[in-house]
Amino acid sequence: MTDEPLIGPVEAPDLHVMSFNIRRRMPRNRPGSPDRWATRKPLVRRLLAAERPTVLGVQEALDEQVEVVADALGGSHRWVGTGRDPGGHGEACPVYYDDARLELTEWRQLALSATPGEHGSRSWGNLTRRVVVSAEFTDRATGGRLHVFNTHLDHLSRRSRLQSARMIAGLAHAAHLDEPEAAIVVTGDFNADERSAVHRRLTGDGVLRDAWDATGEQLTPEWGTFSNYGPRRRGGRRIDLILVGGAAEVTHAGINAARFEGRAASDHEPVQAVLRHRSNDEAAGGREEAG
């Protein structure tokens, strides 16, 4: 018997996108803590095995956790991204993708800093290193192009979050200028909600929009995405987001507040969306209307 997915595997032309902060493995937990990785690991496996998104942006993944996620997704999924520390270790923000559906054409990892090409660099007041992983794909089924960015913004420094948001918005804008007919997806834990200056900076130039607001159908209530293992909270802050741009059209979106025998797989709820790549004519028509 398999667990019931919120969305589950999809077929072309649909693309199932998920963002999931899986919570890093902590070295010590009190007895019975819901935060214990040994307790949560099978729950993460169950959730991902049921959903099997086409694209998954993960945050807070340590080395073993990166492998656990890959194993749960199945044999055709691959990933790109390394740890954020100078040697490539530490927490990672990997982008997973179904290689049977998407052909990876390029990827890179940048530090969220004034020197983005310097791996492990820090700026803007954040003590913790932060990164963005970008990946470019060609859809094997439709031929459409897809740009994906995955990140985890700083939890303490507002200045760092704002500067990082500006940098990511700039990357999305550059991708749109380079390939106007491509779909763009940004996944991440932004440590700032939909009413924040960070959100406005990400969406302010009109390239990116919040998938939750852009969707034709919301599959769930608007749960807060940071539960800290507590009950689901309707109307809470959405700090985990999927943003879309370019030729990406959102047909469904949801916040997966699944519980397994009353237990949560992470202190964050994953967010999910189903996208379709608008045709060239539709995308061009949208640009003419906007002009």
CATH for 251: 3.60.10.10
Q: Number of folded domains in the chain?
A: 1
Does a structural domain hold residue 287?
Answer: no
Please report where in the chains the tokens 């060239």 appear, as a residue: 280
Does a structural domain hold residue 6?
Answer: no
Does a structural domain hold residue 130?
Answer: yes
Does a structural domain hold residue 177?
Answer: yes
Does a structural domain hold residue 268?
Answer: yes
Please tell me the pTM assigned to this model.
0.95
Does a structural domain hold residue 163?
Answer: yes
Amino acid at 75: G
pLDDT at 165: 98
Q: Which residues contact 284 (CB under 8 A, 6 or more apart)?
A: none
pLDDT at 285: 43
Closest alpha carbon to 81 in 48, 73, 90, 72: 90
pLDDT at 27: 86
Does a structural domain hold residue 192?
Answer: yes
Does a structural domain hold residue 290?
Answer: no
Each residue's pLDDT tens digit, 177-190: 999 999 999 999 99
The helix, strand and coil proportions of the chain, stated in percent and rounded to the nearest 5, come to 25, 30, 45
Question: Residues in the chain with pLDDT < 50?
Answer: 1, 280-281, 283-291
Domain containing 93 equals 14-25+34-280
Instruction: With beta carbons less than 8 A apart as the criterion, state whether 207 and 214 touch.
Output: no
